[in-house]
Structure 1
Amino acid sequence: MAIDTLSEPQKDHDVRSLVNQRSVLMRLLRYLRPHIKPLIYAFSILLCATAADVAGPVLIRIFIDDFLAPRIFDITALIMLGGGYLGLVLLSAVLHYRQLVAFNQIALKIIQTLRVEVFSKVQFLGLRFFDFTPGGALVSRITNDTEAIKELYLGVLSTYVQNIVFLCGIFIAMFVLDVRLATLCLIFLPLILLLMQIYRIFSSRVYRVLRKQLSQLNAKLNETLQGMNIVQAMNQEKRFRHEFSKINESYYQSALLNIKLDSVLMRPAVDVLYTLAFIIVLSYFGLQSLTGPVEIGIIYAFINYLDRFFEPVNMMMMRLSQLQQAIVAAERVFGLMDDVHLAPGQKPDIAQYEKSPKTSECRPKIEEGKIEFHNVSFSYDGVTEVLKNITFTVEPGQTVALVGHTGSGKSTISNLLMRFYPLNQGEIRIDGIPLMDYSEEEIRLKIGLVAQDPFLFAGDVAQNIRLERPEITPEDVRAAAHFVQADEFIGRLPLGYDEPVGERGATFSSGQRQLLCFARTMAGNPKILILDEATANVDTETELGIQTALNKMRLGRTTVAIAHRLSTIQDADLILVLHRGQIVERGNHNELLGLKGLYYKMFLLQQ
């Protein structure tokens, strides 16, 4: 009852039926296809190891019934039996080691492939996905969920294959010893299968809750670590500790429920079945002894096989927990790969631009850099329009500046030009060609972006400027740094261009990070330049120094400059004043001052 109550609030898009779980399992198994040959090799070794395990009790039965009971002590025969049994034990150990290594090698290669597929998928998801998905939850899917799937291949599949083969061998040996008793023991198979099915039904609900709460834990942790300076500055430690503790308590309660479920349906239930089977076997031989003699060796072998039969069952029941976790984790991973986060009928943001690789060479190139917006409207959530009927043209080599209050839609225009989001309405053209006709590579190569928040990657200074772009040489890196006057502070670093850069460039000042981002953009020699508050994090002295560099950067390039400080864009060829997603004024600096409208008021406030 508690499980049903717990699962009710969890009815979201990733709740699947057992039929869908089977389809997920089959999809996981399809990853084995490229490894058929090593899989056959591992399975062959497993069969040999199982045969060695099953043959051991047979030799003991021969020793008891043919030598010990009749008191026949043939030294040669006994040595052969003892040596054979010892040889089987050693052979079994070696073969089990080999098959375990073989299965695990296959498993690790599969997980390696799966992680690369998931990471590659995430790299090409539209920014809309990241707007609504917490970073910590996404990290949880790529790390924790794939780690849970790894256990399926590492422990579950090899254990199940090994134990199923072992059980088949045990039943064959039991039928050889006594057909009637072996047939009687078969009644426990449907009982065991029923127990497994019951466990799957209830545990799947609990594991979905656990995976979701683990994602929430990671999301809260990631949010807190990313904004630790704000947390401490605003004295929010107590609040975040309370929120984290609340999520952690929910996770604890779900984990405790899972432990209770395992405690009832795993080993205790199997032990009950084992006790019943043991009673049946002893009762059978007891009744048989009333009508005639019973061979002690057969009793020993049967009880030994019975014990060996239920031990694999116990192991499979224990692994069933990992199997269920792996399936639930796979549902979440495949959901990410299959874009189940999208609304019905909605396509991934990137999908509308993708075309056949065969036609990629025939796709247009950006030559001049002319930009045209025609009646462009856009909404992030499909409800509130951020842009409304935006129309303007920027000729090649011109600079257009976008100004306006916060939330007026300035950065959204640059996002659409960079094709981070699909258009809702209207059209964007570059050199007279629709933006969607260009390849993703061409857009990223010919349009350079300097964002307001400078982002550096872990590595060194040179790597952050070059970004592994093969067309950029070390000389280009130094030239780009000199061009934006970043070479001055780079030269003062202990290791110069080889100076290590930590995560997000935490050891550099905001101005230094911005200068490196300037150099990174200019190293690619873009045809169109987007400056999104490019000098926002640069001090006044540095800003004066790099204004000359910005002017040089704009020469011969079409530039879209987003600015709050009007002093930085007074020489722009065209200034667009946005208000609530619409262009309310347009013209150059002097023309807009003459209108004495919104731009004029903004200019007076800043003066």
Structure 2
Amino acid sequence: MIERHKQLLVPLPQGTVFKRLLTYAKPHWKWLIVAFLLLVGGAGAEILGPILIKIFIDDFLTPRTFDGQLLTLLGAGYLLLYISAAVMNYAQLLLFQKIALRIIQQLRIDVFARVERLGLSFFDQFPTGGLVSRITNDTEQVKELYVSVMAVFVQNIVFLIGVFVAMFFLNVQLALFCLVILPLILLIMQLYRHFSSKYYAEMSEKLSQLNARLNESIQGMAIVQIFRQERRMSREFQKTNQEHFNANFKSIKLDGLLLRPAVDFLAIVALMIVLSYFGITSFNSPVEIGVLYAFVSYLDRFFEPVNQMMQRLSIFQQAMVSAGRVFRLMDHDEIAPQKQGNSSPVIGNGEIEFRDVTFSYDGKTPVLKNISFHVREGETLALVGHTGSGKSSIINLLMRFYSIKQGKILIDGTPLEEFADRELRSKLGLVLQDPFLYVGDIEHNIRLYDTSIMEEEVKEAAKFVHAHPFIERLPDGYKSRVGERGTTFSGGQRQLLSFARTMAKKPKILVLDEATASVDTETETVIQSALEKMRRGRTTIAIAHRLSTIKDADQILVLHQGEIVERGTHDELLEKQGLYHKMYLLQQGAEWLEEMVSD
């Protein structure tokens, strides 16, 4: 399991990454062709400008021949070229940017959809902050590749080709001399890509670790402050932040060495070649000033796009590294358990059976060993045991959050893996110990944006679990706003809302994971009343924290270290005077002590 997660840190080959990025451009090929034609037109208009000035210098200014009509046409042509270049460059830039934003929009949708399909075993191992960093920061870097890099690269490459065509038109021998510069530029680019890819991979990973640290600290801020861990957390954050700084600074030093200074040096060498050539040529034959101007102008225009591309190489490298991390996540095959077979069984009675189920999260240490039980339609099965005994693991397997390798889980006699996700999720209702509420309002938290659930059904579900009275007392009733994770409500109120959410789906099987563990005694009375109504006519599996709440269960399983050590009704287990009996006496004593202290 851990080895599979380490694969997410291994960088993908940049060639593979670039090809996959290009596949996202295929749906937009028509507009890309339009943008490319506009780009070629704009580059051509800019390249023709110096040639018109060369004609003016050599054919009009040097021989001092001034034909008003021809000069007017030449000036109008130059102005037309300038305006055309500006319009076409604006249009192609707008198109490229729009296509880029569409592409990155689709990429984000794809990566988020993939993450939603991953199994809980993935989320158990991968830090939340690092995951958020890949979906947000890394995709933002990929966006810069399309928006700031690819359009500029395509434009400048076309422009450079046009510059060399114009140079060969003016002077073939001198243009060949200037071609020597191209291999040197490509060498600098290759050196930069080789070293910078390592630095940017390290930067991205350290940024993920920073996000993970922040997420962990903010989520657990109460614990941090209670145990006075601020200094330790600050030191650890500073250490990771320093490592991110070091990686960033390495890339800055590389940028300072191989980007602008190296290219500027080549530009000076090229200018020296051109001036030396014209200087030597002038000893034997006259030099056309217009050609000299055009060459110097083209050299300047040649190195301007080269500098632009070199400066964007850093963005290119960051984007390629980030895209590789995103694709690694999208390729991860640890998906949630899927339906098997072609049949479409339906959950009717809600009868549940575990047959010799053995399960391990890491593939090595079993947390469940040969678990077998049978719950008939409408019965209530309670699971009790100390922390780590395997209670929640049974729930996770029944909800098909994890796959099993040994044993069978059956619902109405049909293997669990044969049910479609929609059927399974609609017929199984889960209430967790720590209910999760979303930002929005109460109504949407109960229906979870399911348009098939009407407003009256939402209210009926709330009334059914006794949540309606406190909701009605709120200023905006069912439209009252819910903050992040429902922090504006008490634990009992959040739990009642989660009950209402479950009952609005009208499940056939009810799964309760210590639903009353974190509420006060008064609220527990209300919740117990709601639970009693919820269990009627439904098969129920409940993890019990307080044994007094499961006295009326049809069957109680006592788990210890992943095994069922006792089973029976409440009275039968007390008569055995085993582990359940000891747990019950301990809780009774604790409750008696609480009452004495409160009195």
Q: Same fold (TM over 0.5)?
A: yes
Q: In 2, Cα distance between the equivalents of 1:12 and 1:205?
A: 17
Identity of aligned residues (%): 60
Q: In 1, Cα distance between the equivalents of 2:259 and 2:354?
A: 65
2:531 counterpart of 1:550: yes
Shift of 1:239: 1.1
Secondary structure of 1:71 counterpart: coil
2:226 counterpart of 1:233: yes
**Equivalent position to 1:589, from 547, 570, 573:** 570
Q: Which residue of 2 aligns with 1:43?
A: 36
2:255 counterpart of 1:262: yes
**Equivalent position to 1:505, from 483, 486, 498:** 486
Aligned length: 583
Q: Which residue of 2 aligns with 1:145?
A: 138
2:297 counterpart of 1:304: yes
Shift of 1:469: 1.8
Unaligned runs of 5+ in 1: 1-10, 340-346
Equivalent AA in structure 1 for residue 431 of structure 2: V
Secondary structure of 1:529 counterpart: strand
Superposition TM-score, scaled by structure 1 size: 0.94
Shift of 1:546: 2.6
Q: Which residue of 1 aligns with 2:115?
A: 122
Equivalent AA in structure 1 for residue 338 of structure 2: Y
Q: Which residue of 1 aligns with 2:334?
A: 348
* 8 Å Cα contact 2:384/2:557 also seen in 1: yes
Q: Which residue of 1 aligns with 2:82?
A: 89
Q: In 2, Cα distance between the equivalents of 1:14 and 1:312?
A: 35
Superposed CA deviations along residues 187-228 of structure 1, whole A, max 9, x for unmatched, are 111111111111111010001100000000000001111111
Cα 1:267–1:354 change in 2 (3 A) is farther
* 8 Å Cα contact 2:382/2:541 also seen in 1: yes
2:220 counterpart of 1:203: no
Secondary structure of 1:449 counterpart: strand
Q: Which residue of 2 aligns with 1:561?
A: 542
Secondary structure of 1:368 counterpart: coil
* 8 Å Cα contact 1:401/1:575 also seen in 2: yes
Equivalent AA in structure 1 for residue 117 of structure 2: F
2:424 counterpart of 1:438: no
Q: Which residue of 2 aligns with 1:320?
A: 313
Superposed CA deviations along residues 302-346 of structure 1, whole A, max 9, x for unmatched, are 01001111111111111111111111111110101101xxxxxxx
**Equivalent position to 2:407, from 426, 435, 441:** 426
Shift of 1:23: 1.2
Q: Which residue of 1 aligns with 2:282?
A: 289
Q: In 1, Cα distance between the equivalents of 2:488 and 2:57?
A: 77
Shift of 1:588: 0.1
**Equivalent position to 2:503, from 514, 522, 531:** 522
Secondary structure of 1:390 counterpart: strand
Shift of 1:74: 2.0
Shift of 1:76: 2.2
2:51 counterpart of 1:58: yes
Q: Which residue of 2 aligns with 1:531?
A: 512
Shift of 1:77: 2.1
Q: Which residue of 2 aligns with 1:447?
A: 428
Q: In 2, Cα distance between the equivalents of 1:266 and 1:258?
A: 11
Superposed CA deviations along residues 366-404 of structure 1, whole A, max 9, x for unmatched, are 111011001111111112111111000000100000000
Q: In 2, Cα distance between the equivalents of 1:475 and 1:435?
A: 33
Matches within 5 A, 1:89-488: 89-339=82-332, 348-350=334-336, 352-354=337-339, 359=342, 362-488=343-469
* 8 Å Cα contact 1:185/1:277 also seen in 2: yes
Shift of 1:32: 0.6
Q: In 1, Cα distance between the equivalents of 2:148 and 2:334?
A: 35
Q: In 2, Cα distance between the equivalents of 1:580 and 1:349?
A: 28
* 8 Å Cα contact 1:409/1:581 also seen in 2: yes
Equivalent AA in structure 2 for residue 29 of structure 1: L
**Larger CA deviation: 533-542 vs 563-572:** 533-542
Superposed CA deviations along residues 143-197 of structure 1, whole A, max 9, x for unmatched, are 0000000011101110010000000110110000001111111111111111111
Secondary structure of 1:353 counterpart: coil
CA RMSD of aligned residues (A): 1.2
Shift of 1:349: 4.2
Q: In 1, Cα distance between the equivalents of 2:116 and 2:129?
A: 16
Secondary structure of 1:180 counterpart: helix
Secondary structure of 2:24 counterpart: helix
* 8 Å Cα contact 1:349/1:421 also seen in 2: no
* 8 Å Cα contact 1:14/1:331 also seen in 2: no
Q: In 2, Cα distance between the equivalents of 1:308 and 1:463?
A: 59
